[in-house]
Structure 1
Amino acid sequence: AICGPVQNSASRAELHRKSIAQMKINTRSVQDMHIYADPSRVPVVLIEQHVMVVPQHGSNKDLASSSSEQKDTIVLPKLQGESLVLKNINGKKGGRVLRAVIFVHGFQGHHLDLRLVRNQWLLLDPGAECLMSEANEDKTSGDFKEMGGRLAGEAVAFLKKKVDKLARHGGCKELKLSFVGHSIGNIIIRTALAEPALQPYLKNLYTYMSISGPHLGYWYSSNSLFNSGLWLLKKLKGAQCIHQLTFSDDQDPQNTFFYRLCKSKTLENFKNIILLSSPQDGYVPYHSARIELCPAASADNSRKGQVFTEMLNNCLDQMRAPSSETRIFMRCDVNFDQSAHGRNLNTMIGRAAHIEFLETDIYARFIMWSFPELFR
């Protein structure tokens, strides 16, 4: 069965598309379809924005309402967005600001998977230094701890190289370190942030953009076809990361990798956190990508339900944590137009939307150009 929030998101997006289809076109206005695409065919992006206010959940209670406002938006030519309250942190004189962005691919991915998002970031901020992580290419079936260690080492080497370069040209007065991850790349990022090698850089964390990341693992996944695939991967391939994602790496759920990861303070130092999810993505549970409660977990009175709620609140508490800067927390729901795909296996198992995040950038263009303060 599909969780209520998933159905609700899909229904809102469909209503939005129908309203566009019923709009009367002004024949005196011309829209360049090559630049902006057909409005009825582009992704619908629903944005929920929080400023240091995130709802607290109980394991057996109704979904708490958020005190932040929610906005429904569609990708259209108009690119200006809501103004965000961000303090000026570039007040120092002398030297240059190093703005570094590290992009991390997902399971069996390629280091260039996120190149479209990187290209948009560079259009917004041509001076950004980008690293397309290669440390875990062809190595994403192993232990997340090992993958995180490799990413941490790669990131530190990259940052030291850039700082040394600036030292020869007036010095580096400030570092802004951002991360972008796709799928399990987000878990690798959070694991790396818990590594000792990256501890000196935690105070420099700026923006974290998670694209369909399974932050709460695969508990309460409603995709039976995909769950069967995960079972086969565990049995036939022995992939350690799949055991960790499905909490089968330890008999005691409080000793599992994901439980310990959610207790680690991997999110609280970011100034901006953006979680992208899609109700059409069957590869990552919707609630896991959004770091929120789902009806199945809310109704679960077992120890599993209690442990899941602890994990959820451990993550949300990090985003509530006091900070000297204003913290922006956004959930961006992306509903792709899949009418051209037809009814095939990719759409049935939810792979089409998971990969669409990599194959199109119009959703990223909209989010990034609407909220440019978060990306430079």
Structure 2
Amino acid sequence: MRLEVFPTFSVYIHLHEFNAIDLVHGYYQIRFGFKPNSLMTFQLSSERKLSPRDGGAGPSTANSTGISRVAKIAFREQSVELDDIFKCRVNVEKRIDRFEPVLLPMQLELWYLDPEATPSASSYTLVSKRTVEILARADKSTHCYRSIFFEYFIFSAVTITIHASVVGLRVVRTKPAPDPPISDKLRNFHQIICRMVLSTVHSLQTFVQRYSRVLTSPIKIVCGDMEKEEERLKRELEASRNPWGKLEGDLTAFSSQLSRLFNQLLQLFSRSVALREIMLAEFDQQRMKQLSEAFLFSEDTVQTLLQPTLNQNGHVIDLVKKSAYFSLIPPLAVYVANADVNLDNMSVIVEQRFLPSGVSAHANETPFSFPQRLSPMMSPPRSGLESPMENFQVATTPKKIFDFCLPLSALASRRQSNVDYGEDEYCISPGAPNNHLSVHTENWDKRRMTFPGLVPILKNASRSTDALDTEKGDASANLLGSTIFSSTLKAHSLCEISPKPETERQLEPTTGTSSTMSSPVKEVPVQSVNFGQISNGNLVIDGTMMEFVRRKESFKIHLVQQMSYKGYLYSDLASVENHFVPFSRLTKLAIEQRCVQDVHLVIFVHGLEGTCEDLTAYRNYLRITLPDCNLSFLLSEVNQTETWSDLRRMAENLLDEILRYILKMPCSPTRISLICHSLGGLIVRTMCGLEGMTPLLDKLHTLMTLNSPHCGLIFNQRTASWGLTLLQWWKQSPCLDQLTLKDSLNYRETFLYKLSQNGAFGLFRNVLLVGSTQDLYVPGHSALIEQCKAGLADNASGLGAVYAEILANINESVVGSNRHTTLVKYTVSHALAKVPKAQQVTGRAVHIAAVDDDIFIEKLISISAGKHFR
């Protein structure tokens, strides 16, 4: 090739606010930088905008590192405005015709300065860092506004806007003139570049189009036709006497237009508060959907606890992990390592709710487990998990739960705003003729998106009638319109925009989702789906996303057939219940308006050889998930030095610590909840039976236990039993004797058996049990209070019968509870890809994952468990 073309990206980075959640008093600073490599070089600059509060120390760059303003933190839940803007120019040394999406690695760091220290750049100490990966594509721009959290021990977050796009094409001549005539090689090269550039132009236009409703001045937006423009450029190349010169001219025009279009986008939207609210809500919804993948739940009544059965959730988890759906969960465009979900850190959770009689959170909804509800034409696919999809057609979706809804192309806005999404939504059912997927538009207002990261695209210049609409008159300018695709690739200047009268500049941002369909949807044959991107006029469909939703539906059908599973996927719910978007306007308002008198005390109790800091992450995510609740936290530390002692003694210590803490509180708590890890769960149950608990019993609200041996450590795996024997010989611990039912010759006189009779679970409104079949320290059947095969098979020692009685005693306390207790069991399979093999073999990694894995904790609290602490 006589010409080599390399892309140049521009990355706009805007640091908005620094939010302190659990920080010590002092000065904090955000620093970030891109690490260059053989393929990429970075040029970072800052838009220096000083204010009186900066004292001459505003945003700056030094040694290719961006440095923010200094944030002074004096109290908890404090937000400090940064408003620091940086731009980075990235030259990628990879030919655009061979270009694949790349990740731009950005190291984001939090630095701390003691308030008593001498202020200087060298005095700051690095306390936390995150690696942010920004997706850069040659055919699509990236736009994101999100919060980035630092580690739990220095819990804080920074809100950041990122816009990234190709803004230039660098041309390198490999051979001098004269140039040969046109050839197929040149035609293909020209077509590839045109498609990429036109796709990026369309992506930038779409962004402006989609969010033009938040602008205070009216603009008219008309997108050109990508296919027609490509044909025009092709004809001009064929007609040119100097095709290579024509190619160079097109590349120069492309670069100029891409740069101008990107800069205009920044001028229009970089200061829009309303846009930030919308983008934050959209990103949060996408991230919540991602967290809720591989999270299933089902419902039953507490009466079913009286007939305990073997836990089959392990088989459900195996099906999830083996499915192609699990491995195809789409990544985020701006991804934070060790904070966002990927295949290596995604845990699988199966939730079982046991509700009091007559109570159901989803009484009118249809689980995907009932084939007769999915479609009247339901018939088994021909084979296996990856069943053929060519005989599937659309079925009507049930209310609220939309188990078989698939996005494919152009979902209309539910706000009647002439908005459509980048992919359709349809439902599948086997046995239909014509070998294609069709779409029924009835009941469209009840539908949802399986993956909400597909943001709406305005079809024309008509305005929305929702609260964000600020225009009522005719458009007075044509910005980024059809002239974008003209031969000269010109766009109207921003100065042509006519400002609106002050009376029409009122914005009322909303973070809600759309609700009605306003346009028909096209049929999309499955056979036409290929990987990568598929052009359909001006619509570019992501083939990877189509494959993901296809595999997901195939997995659900297989789960129904193999397990007769009667449940739901959380990712199929329209939204997370009572969810607040972190650091949004509504969240800040909820914090300001929460009731000071209604204090909910949450107590954290660590396990064997644990510390008071073990459950800090749960405290942090409860703060984030429940900003409208006035929560007070007690991290118990009274038993840190004596977790090997008698359970009753530790329970008395805990009760004394709680009573002393309540006496010091300004307001007495109206509710008390407890979160316990491992042995802590038994300590709390023991405490509930003490006489001193009487004044607190009416305030008990939620008990959550994490891998707690409620039924002891009997019927464990052989290696674990050997380890316990060795540990008991070494420690001579009373609590180990109690956990293994060796503290009495008569099993029914043992501490654990008597503990099962004290009815502790029935004293709470909600009881949440978390356990894992991978845990070799505490077997899953003991943590989840369920029957086990070894117990059913034991007819000689008498332990099997005693174990069954322990189960019955605990379950009867829930069924007969005067508090109408709701019992929830979470069977968990933790992600162990990055855990050393030695810890996996011993089982320790799984046992402590419930308190160490921040992503699992966020998934559990934000998607499901958090609502039980309201």
- Give the TM-score taking structure 1 as reference length: 0.81
In structure 1, the residue matched to 2:778 is: 284
Q: Per the alignment, do residues 15 and 110 of structure 1 end up closer, same or farther by CA in structure 2, a change over 3 Å counting?
A: same
What's the CA shift for 1:82? 9.6
Q: CA deviation at 1:81?
A: 4.7
Shift of 1:194: 1.1
Who wins on radius of gyration, i.e. which is larger? 2
Deviates more, 1:351-360 or 1:4-13: 4-13
- Stretches of structure 2 that go unaligned for 5 or more consecutive residues are 1-309, 358-564, 580-594
1:214 aligned to 2:518? Answer: no
Tell me the secondary structure at the aligned position of residue 811 of structure 2: helix
- Tell me the equivalent position of 1:106: 607
For the pair 1:155 / 2:459, whether they are aligned, the reply is: no
State the Cα RMSD in Å: 2.7
Residues 187-206 of structure 1: matches in 2 within 5 Å? 187-206=682-701
Separation in structure 1 between the aligned mates of residue 841 and residue 765 of structure 2, nearest angstrom: 37
For the pair 1:332 / 2:332, whether they are aligned, the reply is no
Report the equivalent of 1:352. Answer: 845
For residues 822 and 856 of structure 2, the distance between their equivalents in structure 1, rounded to whole angstroms, comes to 19
**1:21 correspondence with 2:330:** no
User: 1:97-126 CA deviation, whole Å, 9 max, x = no partner?
Assistant: 220011000101111100001111122335
- Report the counterpart of residue 818 of structure 2 in structure 1: 323
Partner of residue 141 from structure 1, selected from 622, 641, 644 = 644
Q: Any residues of structure 2 matched to 1:218-229 within 5 Å, and which?
A: 218-222=713-717, 224-229=718-723
Does the CA-based 8 Å contact 2:706-2:770 persist in structure 1?
yes
Pick closer, same or farther for the CA change 1:12–1:293 going to 2, 3 Å: same
Secondary structure of residue in 2 paired with 1:106: coil
* Change over 3 Å in CA distance of 1:355–1:146 after alignment to 2: same
User: C-alpha offsets along residues 330-364 of structure 1, whole Å, 9 cap, x if unaligned?
Assistant: 1112211112225x221012111111112112222
1:52 aligns with 2:380: no
Which 10-residue stretch deviates more, 32-41 or 292-301? 32-41
1:328 shift after superposition: 2.2
Task: Note if 1:255 corresponds to 2:255.
Answer: no
- Whether the 8 Å CA contact 1:277–1:290 is kept in 2: the answer is yes
Distance 1:243 1:79, change over 3 A: farther
Q: Deviations over 1:70-112 (max 9, x none)?
A: 44557x99971599xxxxxxxxxx9822200110001011111
How far is 1:4 from its partner? 7.3
Q: 1:362 is matched with which residue?
A: 855
Q: Which consecutive residues of structure 1, in runs of 5 or more, have no partner in the other structure?
A: 54-67, 84-93, 167-171
Q: Which has the higher strand share?
A: 2
- Establish whether residue 97 from structure 1 lines up as the match of residue 598 from structure 2: yes
Confirm whether residue 307 of structure 1 aligns to residue 614 of structure 2: no
Give CA deviations for 1:196-224 in whole Å, capped at 9, x if unaligned: 111221111101111110000011112x2
**With CA pairs under 8 Å and 6+ residues apart, which has the higher RCO, 1 or 2?**
1
Report if the CA contact (8 A) 2:703-2:767 is conserved: yes
Quick check: 2:759–2:813 contact (8 Å CA) kept in 1?
Answer: yes
Change (3 A) 1:320 1:103: same
2:311, 2:787 within 8 Å by CA — same for their partners in 1?
A: no
With 30-39 and 306-315 compared, the bigger mean Cα shift is at 30-39
Superposed CA offset, 1:237-296 (max 9, x none): 201111111111111001111001001121101111111111211110110000111111
Q: Distance in 2 between matches of 1:346 and 1:365?
A: 23
SS at match of 1:42: coil
Q: What is the aligned length?
A: 334
Which residue of the partner structure matches residue 60 of structure 1? Answer: none
Q: Cα offset for 1:157?
A: 1.4
Contact 1:47 1:71 in 2 (8 A): no
Q: Quick one: which amino acid aligns to residue 620 of structure 2?
A: N
Aligned to 2:335: 32
- Aligned equivalents of 1:264, 1:182: Cα separation in 2: 20
SS of the aligned residue for 1:156 comes to: helix
When residues 15 and 44 of structure 1 are mapped into structure 2, their CA distance, relative to the original with a 3 A threshold, is: same
Q: Specify the SS of the correspondent of 1:36.
A: coil
Return the offset for 1:192: 1.1
Aligned to 2:624: 123
Q: Per-residue deviation at 1:146?
A: 0.5
- Structure 1 pair 315/108, CA: closer, same or farther in 2 (3 Å)? same
Residue 43, structure 1, aligned to residue 537, structure 2: no
The 1:242–1:336 alpha-carbon spacing in structure 2 relative to 1, beyond 3 Å, is same
